[in-house]
Amino acid sequence: MNSTSNVASPEVITPQPQNSSGANWSLWRRQLAGVVRLELRKNILSRRMLPLLLLAVLPVVWMAIISVAPLSEADRLKIEPNPAFAFVFRVYYLKIAIFLSCLVAFVQLFRGDILDRSLHYYLLCPVRREIFVAAKYLVGSLSSSLVMAASVAATYLVVHLSFGSASLGSLVSGLLTYAAIAVLGCLGYGAVFMLMGLFFKNPVLPAIGLFLLELANPFLHPLIKKISIIHYLISLLPHHVSVGAFEILASKTSPFISVPSLLVVIAATVWLASWRLRQMEITYSDD
> Per-residue pLDDT averaged across 75-104, rounded?
86
Average pLDDT score over residue span 237-241: 81
CA–CA distance from 124 to each of 86, 101, 107, 121, 223 (Å)? 48, 30, 22, 5, 45
- pLDDT band at residue 56 under the 50/70/90 scheme: very high
The pLDDT assigned to 1 comes to 46
CA dihedral 172, 175, 176, 182 (to 10 degrees): 180
Q: For 174-230, how does the pLDDT look when each residue is reduced to its tens digit (9 = 90+)?
A: 899 999 999 999 999 999 999 988 888 888 889 999 998 888 887 777 777 788 888
Q: For Cα atoms 55, 57, 58, give the angle at the middle one, nearest 5 degrees.
A: 70
Q: What is the pLDDT of residue 131?
A: 87
pTM above 0.85, yes or no: no
The C-alpha R_g of the chain, in whole angstroms, comes to 26
Taking Cα atoms as reference points, which of 92, 186, 178 lies closest to residue 145?
Answer: 186
Query: Which residues, other chains included, contact 237 with Cβ-Cβ below 8 Å and sequence gap of 6+?
Result: 86, 89, 90, 181
- Whether the per-residue pLDDT at 238 is higher than 60: the answer is yes
Angle, CA 208 vertex, CA 204 and CA 209 arms, to 5°: 120
Res. 6 pLDDT band, cuts 50 70 90: very low
Contact 254, 226 (CB under 8 A): no
| Tens digit of each residue's pLDDT (9 = 90 or more) over 257-271 | 889 988 998 999 989
- C-alpha–C-alpha distance, residues 142 and 152, integer Å: 15
Q: How many residues does the chain have?
A: 287
- Percent of the chain with pLDDT strictly greater than 90: 23
Counting beta carbons within 10 angstroms of the beta carbon of residue 200, is it exposed (0 to 12), middle (13 to 18) or buried (19 or more)?
Answer: middle
Within its chain, how far is the Cα of 84 from the centroid?
25
Q: What is the pLDDT of residues 151-170, one digit of tens each?
A: 999 999 988 887 766 667 77
Distance of alpha carbon 275 from alpha carbon 201, whole angstroms: 17
Side chain identity, residue 142 = L
